Structure formats: structure tokens, C-alpha cells
Structure 1
Amino acid sequence: MPFEADLAHALDRTTDSLEPDLTALLDGAVRRGRSRRRRRTAVLAGVGACGMLAAAGLLLPGALAGTRGAGSDIETVALALPRSAITDTQMIRALEQTFPGGRFSGQTGQSNNPSDPSGGYVANGALLVEDGRGPAFVGVSALRLKLPLGDGGGLSCEQTPARAEGDTCTLSELPSSAALPGGAVVMSERNAAERPARADTAHRWTVTVTLKSTGAQLQMVQWNSTGGGTGADTPKPTRAAPPLTEQQAVAALTGAAWAPILGAVG
């Protein structure tokens, strides 16, 4: 699985677009020490973690709060340190619990580190899930946005660059409840790995849930292939649809398996 080759694609999370200005983003990210957001990484914990994030298309903690990439007009999202540490094992376990009865391989994760801002605003988990309909790459990242919430990542479809034909982005809200005090914002996206998309083009489905009261955010990325990427670097589809529908993904991220993660991050 070409995880390292997909690293540029992970920056996509920073802009919620499949084809951002990668040169500007990469240059800016390097100068910032790959600090934060969309995932928000201050510094990733190694090539394995980088590969997992890139392949999943998850947010990179790479552009710290309020900074801009050189040559880019994209404002990054301000992050707050997670309230408690979350381990890579916890992330992977919660991800496996999201697909009961599934078979898993290629598990990868990254812990956050509240005691060291340079080492971890974001926790991540990713794996290949086989549910009988073809293998699919799935990842979830957890982080905390600074309050008050703005229009940044996972909060506004208007903040994403122009999309390819057939790509979609919708925004909705969940009411306040015991599990979601203050309610939550839900951003759902579907993006083709190539422009224009062909019959054999893989797609990525992204669901981002952000708690209004704490800024805690979970993002699930599902591919209908065995890995992320763009263009020729993207594995061909292994199935027609992602393992979970949008409604199922929202239910999973706001359910029992992820409740401890939401509580720890926010």
C-alpha cells in the first residue's frame, strides 16, 4: 500500500479538497514544522503514522493555529490541546468496534500527547476492513478545535476549494443530548480521486462530527479502495460503496465506541 506516496493527499484534509495547491501547502507545512490542522499535527510520530494519515486522507496536525501556507489563501484552523491522552491502541480498538464482524488488517495508529504540544494534537487510527463486500480503507482522527468555533475545517462547505463534478458536501446539525451536549455540526463529503472521474475512479467519503460545546472533533474517512491517493496513485475501487453510509458513520462516531474518545479529546 503506497502510504508514503500518498502523503501529499493527506494535506487535502487541510483544505477539504481533493486537489489543493500541494506545492504551496507542502512548502508552508515544512516551514511550520508540519505543525497542525487538518491534522493538525504538530509533528507526526514517524513515517508509519504519516503513511496512515496520508492514505486515509485524514487531517494532518500540520498547520498550527492561525497560520497560512506560503502562497496560499487558506486559513488554517486553530487547535486546542486534547484534555487527555489517547493512545493509538484506543483509536484502533474503537475503529474495530465500529465494524462488528469485520476482518481487519494493516492497522496503524498515532497517539496524541497533551503534555507536549509539539508532539500531538491529534490521535488517529486506520485499517483495512473486509466486511464481505470487498476491502476498504477506513480511518478516524480525533482532535479539539479552539472555541469559539469558526468556519474552518469540518464546519463549512464554503471554505473548501472548487470541487469536481459529482463531488458533494453537505452540512447539518445534531441536537443537544446526553451524548452530544450542546449539539454538533456534521459535515459530509464525497470526493473522486481523479478529475474528471471515470468508471474505475476510487472515491473517498468523509464524515466530520464537531461538538459545539467543547470543540471535540472526530473525522471518519472511508475509501472504496485499499488506500488513499490521487490520480494514478490511487488504488482502483474494490467495491461500489463505503462500508458505512453517511447516517451509519454519524451514528458510529456519536455512539458508545467513540464516546470515550470524544470525552478525552474535548
Structure 2
Amino acid sequence: MPFEADLSHALDRTADSLEPDLTALLGGAVERGRSRRRRRSAAVIAGVGACTVVAVAGLVIPGALAGARPSGSDIETVALAVPRSAITGTQMVDALKETLPGGTFSQMTGQSNNPSDPSGGYVANGQLVVDDGHGAALVGVSAVRLKLPLRDGDGLSCERTPARAEGDTCTLSELPSSAAVPGGAVVMSERNAAEHPVRGDTAHRWTVTVTLKSTGAQLQMVQWNSTGGGSGADTPKPTRTAPPLSEQRVVAALTGAAWAPILGAVG
């Protein structure tokens, strides 16, 4: 996985979120790099470290670099809260496999969180490459808890993110309160090209972030139409035209039975 390529992506977005005491670095170098200031990761999953970011499938945790906000930035920081209980990397990978039935899996990696020790990380994540018969794709999910009350920021407002390049999109919607989503949820959906101007062989990533209003629990799924995340010409070329799951299927999955235990453990 092109971790180095995604790192620059992650640095853009994570310089303004975590509290100074959240100095945890994910032990595994799972790939995750979300562009600019998009949480847990752009694209699929990240860990927190003292002045360090780990990128997973192009996804980045809210604010992995404490106090490193760009000069002159008016973007509010997004602070993490302590998860309610531990989640293992194996749980994350298993839930991800359950979300993508019927495919063959490879390059599976996961990272646990550690609520009792900030240095162990507050973010759980899992990623894999799935081939569902339409081409291999890198997919990842991260789980984190934001501090309440929720504020505009990662996964919560398209307007609060840096300007998107032509062709990139971001939409925001809400889910009503239900048994599966008590108190309702905010859903942010993004589509970003790995390089601009976009060419015929440019890879894309699709990111869906679901944040529960009542607890701050947040799940983010990142899907690439290639076998690796990244940015620019070093990103693996597309293996398919669309991601494995549509936005509607991602939202249904992240608020469904497979991820309910993880949402409960986070928030």
C-alpha cells in the first residue's frame, strides 16, 4: 500500500483536530489518507500519533496532529472523546467482510483502539482489498468518537472543508431518529479524484461518514476504485468504474447489524 503517497494527503486534513493529550500512534502502518481536512479517512483508516499520521485507504482521523493548524486557518478543530470500550482490529475487519459479502478478500489489516490509554490510540480501523467480480477495490472503515456537542468539522459540514477541485463533490444529509440510529445522524458523502486535472486513468475514492448526534460515535467508510489509496500519479490505476457499494448501501451497512456493536462500543 502506498502509505507514503497518502501521508501528504493526511497531513493536509489532520492538522487541526485532536487534543494535545491524544498522542497515540497506530502500531500497524495501515494505509489511510484523506485529502485535506476530511476525518478519519480520507479515504479508509488512521491512527493517532505524536506529530504523526497513519493513512489507511485514504482515510484520516480527525486531527491526528495536535496544535499543527495551518497559519491563518479559520476551520474549527474537531476534538475526539474517549471510546466507551475497546474494539479490536479483528472486529473491524470481520464487520467489513460482513458488509461486503460474496467477494474474495486480500491484504486485510486492522487496528484496535485503547480507551484506557490515550497513547494506545482512540481510533479503531480495518481495511482490505475486495474483488466482487467487477474488479479489485481497496475499502476501509474507521471508528471514532467525537466530543459533544458536535460542531462543524470533519464529517459534519461540506462548507467547512477546503475548496474542492473541479469534479469533486460533497453532499450532506441527515438520518431521522430510529431504533438503529437513536437521536438521528449526520451523513456526509464525498467523491474525490486522486489527481487533477482528471484523466481517463485517474483513480477516485468515495467516502461516506456517519456521525450519531446523540453520542458522537462516527464511522467512516472509504472506497477506492483501485487497489490502493494515494494522491497524484503514484495512485494505483483504476480497476473498476464504481465503488463496491453505493452511498445508500454504505449508510444502510454502517447503521445496520454488522456495525451496531462497534457503534455502541465507540459511543
Give the TM-score taking structure 1 as reference length. Answer: 0.86
In 2, Cα distance between equivalents of 1:193 and 1:234: 7
Residue in structure 2 matched with residue 10 of structure 1 by the alignment:
10
Give the SS at the match of 1:247: helix
Q: CA deviation at 1:119?
A: 1.9
The reply to whether residue 262 of structure 1 matches residue 263 of structure 2 is yes
Query: Aligned residues, how many?
Result: 244
Question: Would the alpha carbon gap of residues 170 and 44 (structure 1) be closer, same or farther in structure 2, given more than 3 Å must change?
Answer: same
Give the SS at the match of 1:80: coil
In 2, Cα distance between equivalents of 1:13 and 1:105: 28
Correspondence list, 1:94-243, <5 A? 94-243=95-244
Q: Which runs of 5+ in 1 are unaligned?
A: 15-24, 29-34
Residue in structure 1 matched with residue 89 of structure 2 by the alignment:
88
In 2, Cα distance between equivalents of 1:143 and 1:102: 27
Give the SS at the match of 1:43: coil
Please tell me whether the aligned partners of residues 148 and 216 of structure 2 are also in contact (alpha carbons under 8 angstroms). yes
Report the structure, 1 or 2, having the larger helix content. 1
Quick one: which amino acid aligns to residue 11 of structure 1?
L
Give the SS at the match of 2:118: coil
Quick one: which amino acid aligns to residue 91 of structure 2?
Q
In 1, Cα distance between equivalents of 2:28 and 2:183: 37
RMSD (CA atoms): 2.0
- Worse-matched range after superposition: 117-126 or 45-54: 45-54
In 2, Cα distance between equivalents of 1:12 and 1:188: 19
Correspondence list, 1:1-80, <5 A? 1-14=1-14, 25=15, 36=18, 42-49=23-30, 53=46, 54-60=55-61, 62-64=64-66, 67-71=67-71, 73=73, 74-80=75-81
Q: CA deviation at 1:36?
A: 3.6
- Worse-matched range after superposition: 169-178 or 118-127: 118-127
Q: CA deviation at 1:6?
A: 2.3
Question: Would the alpha carbon gap of residues 50 and 229 (structure 1) be closer, same or farther in structure 2, given more than 3 Å must change?
Answer: closer
Give the SS at the match of 1:108: strand
- Worse-matched range after superposition: 44-53 or 95-104: 44-53
Question: Would the alpha carbon gap of residues 50 and 116 (structure 1) be closer, same or farther in structure 2, given more than 3 Å must change?
Answer: farther
Give the SS at the match of 2:159: helix
Give the SS at the match of 1:159: coil
Quick one: which amino acid aligns to residue 24 of structure 2?
V
Question: Would the alpha carbon gap of residues 8 and 245 (structure 1) be closer, same or farther in structure 2, given more than 3 Å must change?
Answer: same
In 2, Cα distance between equivalents of 1:226 and 1:6: 13
In 2, Cα distance between equivalents of 1:36 and 1:108: 24
Quick one: which amino acid aligns to residue 26 of structure 2?
A
Question: Would the alpha carbon gap of residues 72 and 240 (structure 1) be closer, same or farther in structure 2, given more than 3 Å must change?
Answer: farther
User: How high is the sequence identity, in percent, across the aligned residues?
Assistant: 75
Question: Would the alpha carbon gap of residues 50 and 194 (structure 1) be closer, same or farther in structure 2, given more than 3 Å must change?
Answer: closer
Please tell me whether the aligned partners of residues 55 and 227 of structure 1 are also in contact (alpha carbons under 8 angstroms). no
Q: CA deviation at 1:47?
A: 4.7
Give the SS at the match of 2:173: strand
Quick one: which amino acid aligns to residue 235 of structure 2?
T
Residue in structure 2 matched with residue 22 of structure 1 by the alignment:
none
